[in-house]
Amino acid sequence: MQKTLKSIAGEVGGTLLGSISDKTMLAQGVSTDTRSLYPNQLYVPILGDRFDGHDFLSDAVKKGAVAALWQEDRALPSSPSIPLIRVKDTLEALQQLAAAWRREIGVKVVAVTGSNGKTTTKELLGSILSVKYRVHRTQGNLNNHIGLPLTLLSMPRKSEVAVVEMGMNHAGEIALLSQIAKPDLAVITNIGEAHIEHLGSRQGIADAKLEICEGLAQQGTLVIDGDEPLLRERLVKEKRRYIRVGWKEDNDDVLQGFATEGLEGISFTTSLTGSRFTLPMMGQYNAKNALLAITVGRTLGLTEEELQQGLNQVHITGMRLEKVTATNGMLIINDAYNASPSSMRATIDLLSSLDGFKEKWVLLGDMLEMGPEEEAYHREVGRFAMEKGISRVYAMGARGRWIVDGAQEVAPEGKAIHFQNPEEAAQTLLAEGNEGVVLLVKASRGARLETTVEHILKGAKTF
């Protein structure tokens, strides 16, 4: 974002406090964190539960901030050394500024939400669309009421397409993000159990995900997991165009001829064009993520050849089916970025399908925000792993005990074990693992299973 302070004040309904000449000063970008602030950026102090960004104004000045927003219920500093723009609420002002920048540069916006696969689908979209367009996309997990505005405000003026991820914990949050971003295309990857603690049921989750339509353009397009009845039944009266993709034969585009290439990736055909695509990512569920991205690409005018070129160059961020080899030769598939019951089952299915290994093990951890049924969900995952032929089920965390308990209901003695800490887990896995073993590691991000992986991988090589 590049704007004068006068323009910023007008767009957020604020009052510029400074000299007359300050009106023409140019802000080049926005930051809410003085630790990563660059010179000439606008500093936006946010109020958190345990901090107040206004307390760090002096740090922003030292870092070279050109100006700062200032919430009107906070006492003004006695002699600020940079101009301040006084606003009713700094967070709302940040969101208003992001919406204004999105309107000003006229970029096409593709928004992505869903219980599982949001980030993977965002990366697939970014890779595909960058073949034809100048693409700006969400970095990391900047997908909430602060992260999404920062994503939009970091768009270069010459951007042609923005791919933004929308996350949530509670009802109403995606509606707000959609109203800020005003997407031209929206994607819902699936409906799982993540955040069911806050939303009460899968029906509640579906309603929350469909809030992405709140800001969707009247001539916009919605692309959905067509295998999910909860989405279909809620879209019966939808007037805007929506496209259903998936495995079921009555979808608008059907995945066919799925094949796995072992650790190298997958391939599939889409019924709409008969084109066959290859994807350098493991997992049958990633075929649907890819088809969602392909559908958006087709909608934005890419050829089948350009779509394949985009799939070929995709790069997925860490801890998402990341393959590494431990010092004892054991292959580790690190998918510890996040987890829900449905994504646990999907990755266990993937592990079960791999050939060339004498034994297949899992190291699983807590699934968070599962609500009152959390024990049943964890036990079911343990049973499922054993029923899929997994040789050993290991788990960590307080909820991980339920996974082991579930596995032990159907497992031979000694095949399901709970570890007390990362050191104990690493010691056992290094001692007993070998080149004939593949280990899947998966849990909610808050379980921090990556710490265990780090212990195992001292001296490991990635590939």
Neighbour tally for 305: CB within 10 Å: 10
Domain 322-462 has CATH 3.90.79.10: no
d(C-alpha 463, C-alpha 458), whole Å:
15
- What average pLDDT does this structure show over 366-394? 95
Rg of the chain in Å (alpha carbons): 24
Please give the pLDDT value at position 463. 42
Same fold: 106-312 with 322-462: no
Please give the pLDDT value at position 338. 84
26 forms bridges with which residues in the sheet? 4
Please give the pLDDT value at position 354. 93
Helix axes 400-408, 374-387, angle to 10 degrees: 50
440 forms bridges with which residues in the sheet? 333, 362
d(C-alpha 457, C-alpha 156), whole Å:
39
d(C-alpha 109, C-alpha 410), whole Å:
48
- What average pLDDT does this structure show over 184-195? 91
Greater model confidence, 122 or 337: 122
Please give the pLDDT value at position 462. 45
Strands 359-364 and 135-137, how do they pair? Answer: unpaired
Instruction: Read off the tokens for 308.
Output: 């394949």
Instruction: Read off the tokens for 140.
Output: 């990391």
- What average pLDDT does this structure show over 381-388? 97
Indicate the SS3 state at residue 112. Answer: strand
338 is in an annotated binding site: no
Is the pLDDT at 459 greater than 50? The verdict is no
Please give the pLDDT value at position 188. 98
Question: In 3D, which of 283, 261, 380, 368 has the Cα closest to residue 333?
Answer: 283
Strand (E) or helix (H) holding 351: helix 341-353
| Structural contact between residues 283 and 321, judged by C-beta atoms closer than 8 angstroms | yes
Edge to edge, the sheet with strand 221-225 lists 135-137, 161-165, 108-113, 185-188, 221-225, 241-246, 253-260, 266-270, 276-279
Which range is least confidently modeled, 168-172, 400-404, 445-449?
445-449
Each residue of 126-159: pLDDT tens digit? 999 999 999 999 987 789 999 999 999 999 999 9
Question: In 3D, which of 358, 391, 361, 355 has the Cα closest to residue 260?
Answer: 355
Instruction: Read off the tokens for 277.
Output: 């695509």
DSSP-derived secondary structure letter, 303: -
* Residues in CB range of 239: below 8 A, 6 or more apart: none
120 is in an annotated binding site: yes
Of 114-118, 159-163, 338-342, the range with the highest mean pLDDT is 159-163
Which amino acid appears at position 420 of this protein?
A: Q
Mean confidence (pLDDT) of the chain: 94
- What average pLDDT does this structure show over 69-86? 95
DSSP-derived secondary structure letter, 47: B
Is the pLDDT at 195 greater than 90? The verdict is no
| Structural contact between residues 296 and 184, judged by C-beta atoms closer than 8 angstroms | no
Instruction: Read off the tokens for 332.
Output: 């580790």
Please give the pLDDT value at position 315. 84
- What average pLDDT does this structure show over 171-199? 92
Each residue of 221-266: pLDDT tens digit? 999 999 999 999 999 999 999 999 999 999 999 999 999 988 889 9
118 is in an annotated binding site: yes
Please give the pLDDT value at position 461. 46
Please give the pLDDT value at position 460. 46
Is the pLDDT at 125 greater than 50? The verdict is yes
Residue for token digits 């896995």? Answer: 429
Instruction: Read off the tokens for 259.
Output: 């094949």
| Structural contact between residues 154 and 136, judged by C-beta atoms closer than 8 angstroms | yes
Max Cα-Cα span within the chain: 79
Neighbour tally for 238: CB within 10 Å: 13
Which range is least confidently modeled, 131-145, 350-364, 449-463?
449-463
115 is in an annotated binding site: yes
Neighbour tally for 422: CB within 10 Å: 18
Neighbour tally for 356: CB within 10 Å: 9
Please give the pLDDT value at position 171. 93
Phi, psi of 271 (to 5 degrees): -65, -25
Domain map (residue ranges) of the chain? 2-88, 106-312, 322-462
Is the pLDDT at 414 greater than 80? The verdict is yes
d(C-alpha 41, C-alpha 307), whole Å:
37
Q: Concatenate the DSSP letters of all residues of 252-278 into one string.
A: SEEEEEEEE-TTS-EEEEETTT--EEE
Instruction: Read off the tokens for 372.
Output: 């009152």
Strands 67-71 and 84-87, how do they pair? Answer: parallel
Distances from the Cα of 1 to the Cα of 139, 290, 404, angstroms: 16, 31, 51
Please give the pLDDT value at position 316. 74
Burial 199-233 (b: 16+ CB within 10 A, else e): beebebbbbbbbbbbbbbeeebbbbbbbbbebbbe
Is the pLDDT at 336 greater than 80? The verdict is yes
Please give the pLDDT value at position 113. 97
Please give the pLDDT value at position 170. 92
365 is in an annotated binding site: no
Instruction: Read off the tokens for 410.
Output: 């159907």
Architecture of the domain delimited by 2-88: 3-Layer(aba) Sandwich (3.40)
Q: What is the topology classification, in CATH, of domain 106-312?
A: UDP-N-acetylmuramoyl-L-alanine:D-glutamate ligase (3.40.1190)
Is the pLDDT at 59 greater than 90? The verdict is yes
